C-alpha cells in the first residue's frame, strides 16, 4: 500500500487528490475537538467521567463519531445520519417502484436520489441533535450559566450539530468526487483509528500489565491476512463466446470468466446493521429517565440480543446488497446478446438461475464470516471488559481493512489509468 501511495505521489494529479483527502480528514478531526457553543468545560468533564463515552450503547455511538460525542463537539452526530438516510433510501428502492425506476435512470436518477438522501439526512440530523441535547442534560450538562437565555443556547447547540452533520456529509462527498476512495468509509476509518492511542493506554492500565494488550494486538495482526484472503476470494464462472463472422473477420471463440466475490457487499452489511441496531440508542436519548426505554436500547446495543440480531442483520443485508449490485437476469441477458454462454447451461433463464444460485451459495459463507468476526469480539469484551477489544473488535478491523483495501484499489486503478493515458500521448 505504501508503495502504491509513493508511486501516486510522483504524479501531480494523484498527489493533489491524496493531499486533498488527507487535508479533509485532518479538518474533520480538528472539528471533532471543537465543542458546541456554550458547553461548560467542567460539566463536559464530569459527563465524560460519569460514562458518556463508555456506558452501553453510548460507547459505540462515541466510537463511530471518533470521540466527538463525548467531547460534545460540533461533529457529535458523526456520519451516522447520512448512513441511516442511505439505508432508508436503498430499502425504499426495493419497496417503492417509482424510486426503483429512478435508480435505473443512470446518472440523472442517481443525482435525484442523492438529493433525497441529503434532505433525509437533514431531518435525521435534526432529530438526533435534539436527542443529544437531552442526552447532555441527563449527564448534568447545563447551558444556563453561558450568559444568554438557555432556550436560545439550546437552539444554537441543535443548529450547530445539524450544520456539523451537513459539513461531514459535504466533506465525505468531496472526498468521493475529487479525492481518493469512498468519503463515507474513510471518515469512519479515521474515527476508528483516532481511538487507538487512548484505547491502548486504557487497556494497559485496566489490565495491570501489557500481556493482555499484546495478546489482543497479536490476534488482530493474525486475523488481518484472513480478512484480506476472504475479501479477495471469488468464484469464477467460466464463460465461452461463440464464433461468429463479422464482415470478413471471425470474431469470438475465446474463453473468459465471470468473477463473483465471496464478499460482494464488502463492509456495507456491517455498517448498515450497526446503524439499525444503534438507532434505538439514538432514540433513547429523548427519554433519559425512562428506565425501560434505556434497558431496551442497551439490550439492543450490547449483550446476547445484540449478538443474535447482528448476525441476522449482517446476513440479511449481505444478500440484499448483493442483489442490488448484481442482477443475474441482466447479466444473463447481456451475455446472450454478446454471444456468450456458460458451458453446460442453456442461455437465458437457465443462465440467470445458475448465476443467482451461485451468488446465493457463495454469499452465505462470506456473510457468516463477517457476522462471526463482528460478534465474537463483542462477546469477549462482555466477559473481559478490555477497552481495546471494544474499540478494535471485529467490526472495527473489518471496516479498517476493507477501507484500506478499497482505497488502495482506487489508487492502483487511477495509476493504471494515468499510465494508460500516458502511453497514447
> What does the pLDDT look like over 123-178, one tens digit per residue?
989 988 887 787 777 766 666 666 667 778 888 888 998 999 999 999 988 988 88
Q: Which residue has the higher pLDDT, 169 or 12?
A: 169
pTM recorded for the entire structure: 0.75
- Give the model's confidence band at 424: pLDDT under 50 very low, under 70 low, under 90 confident, else very high: very low
Which pLDDT tens digit goes with each residue over 188-230?
A: 888 878 777 777 777 676 655 677 777 777 877 788 888 888 8
Query: pLDDT tens across 94-125, in order?
Result: 777 777 777 777 777 788 888 888 999 999 89
- Joined together, the cell numbers standing for residue 135 give 442526552
- What's the mean per-residue pLDDT of the chain? 77
pLDDT of residue 5: 62
Q: Check: CB of residue 421 under 8 Å from CB of residue 14.
A: no
Digit-coded pLDDT (tens) for 345-358: 888 888 888 888 88
CA dist 310 and 296 (Å) reads 15
DSSP 82-124: HHHHHHHHHHHHHH-HHHHHHHTSTHHHHHHHHHHHHHHHHHH
What count of other Cβ atoms lies within 10 Å of the Cβ of residue 340?
20
Q: Is the pLDDT of residue 49 over 50?
A: no
Only one residue has cell 434505538, namely 280
What's the chain's Rg over C-alpha atoms?
24
Range list for CATH 1.10.3370.10 in the chain = 1-194, 196-392
Fold classified for 196-392? Preprotein translocase SecY subunit (1.10.3370)
The domain at 1-194 falls in which architecture? Orthogonal Bundle (1.10)
pLDDT band at residue 332, thresholds of 50, 70 and 90?
A: confident
Whole-angstrom distance, CA of residue 367 vs CA of residue 304: 19
Amino acid at each position: 500500500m505504501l508503495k502504491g501511495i509513493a508511486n501516486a505521489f510522483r504524479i501531480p494529479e494523484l498527489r493533489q487528490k491524496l493531499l486533498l483527502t488527507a487535508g479533509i480528514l485532518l479538518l474533520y478531526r480538528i472539528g471533532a475537538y471543537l465543542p458546541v457553543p456554550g458547553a461548560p468545560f467542567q460539566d463536559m468533564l464530569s459527563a465524560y467521567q460519569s460514562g458518556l463515552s463508555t456506558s452501553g450503547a453510548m460507547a459505540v455511538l462515541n466510537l463511530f463519531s471518533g470521540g466527538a460525542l463525548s467531547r460534545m463537539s460540533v461533529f457529535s452526530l458523526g456520519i451516522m445520519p447520512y448512513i441511516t438516510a442511505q439505508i432508508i433510501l436503498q430499502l425504499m428502492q426495493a419497496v417503492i417502484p417509482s424510486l426503483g425506476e429512478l435508480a435505473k435512470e443512470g446518472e440523472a436518477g442517481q443525482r435525484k436520489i442523492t438529493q433525497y438522501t441529503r434532505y433525509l439526512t437533514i431531518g435525521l440530523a435534526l432529530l438526533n441533535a435534539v436527542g443529544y441535547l437531552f442526552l447532555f442534560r441527563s449527564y448534568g450538562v447545563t447551558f444556563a450559566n453561558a450568559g444568554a437565555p438557555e432556550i436560545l443556547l439550546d437552539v444554537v447547540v441543535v443548529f450547530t450539530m445539524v450544520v456539523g452533520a451537513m459539513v461531514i456529509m459535504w466533506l465525505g462527498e468531496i472526498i468521493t468526487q475529487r479525492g481518493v476512495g469512498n468519503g463515507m468509509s474513510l471518515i469512519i476509518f479515521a474515527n476508528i483509528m483516532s481511538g487507538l492511542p487512548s484505547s491502548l493506554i486504557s487497556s494497559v492500565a485496566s489490565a495491570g500489565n501489557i500481556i493482555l494488550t499484546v495478546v489482543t494486538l497479536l490476534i488482530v495482526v493474525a486475523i488481518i491476512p484472513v480478512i484480506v484472503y476472504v475479501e479477495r476470494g471469488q468464484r469464477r464462472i467460466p464463460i465461452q463466446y461463440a464464433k461468429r463472422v463479422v464482415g470478413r473477420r471471425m470474431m469470438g471463440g475465446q474463453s473468459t470468466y465471470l468473477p463473483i466475490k465471496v464478499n460482494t457487499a464488502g463492509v456495507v452489511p456491517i455498517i448498515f446493521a450497526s446503524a439499525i441496531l444503534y438507532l434505538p440508542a439514538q432514540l433513547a436519548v429523548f427519554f433519559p429517565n425512562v428506565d425501560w426505554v434505556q434497558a431496551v436500547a442497551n439490550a439492543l446495543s450490547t449483550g446476547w440480543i445484540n449478538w443474535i440480531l447482528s448476525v441476522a442483520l449482517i446476513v440479511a443485508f449481505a444478500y440484499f446488497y448483493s442483489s442490488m449490485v448484481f442482477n443475474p437476469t441482466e447479466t444473463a441477458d447481456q451475455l446472450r446478446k454478446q454471444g456468450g454462454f456458460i458451458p453446460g447451461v442453456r442461455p437465458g433463464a437457465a443462465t440467470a438461475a445458475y448465476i443467482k444460485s451461485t451468488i446465493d451459495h457463495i454469499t452465505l459463507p462470506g456473510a457468516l464470516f463477517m457476522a462471526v468476526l463482528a460478534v465474537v469480539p463483542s462477546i469477549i469484551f462482555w466477559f473481559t471488559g478490555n477497552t481495546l477489544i471494544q474499540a478494535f473488535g471485529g467490526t472495527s478491523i473489518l471496516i479498517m481493512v476493507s477501507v484500506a483495501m478499497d482505497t488502495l484499489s482506487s489508487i492502483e486503478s487511477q495509476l493504471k489509468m494515468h499510465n494508460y493515458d500516458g502511453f497514447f500521448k
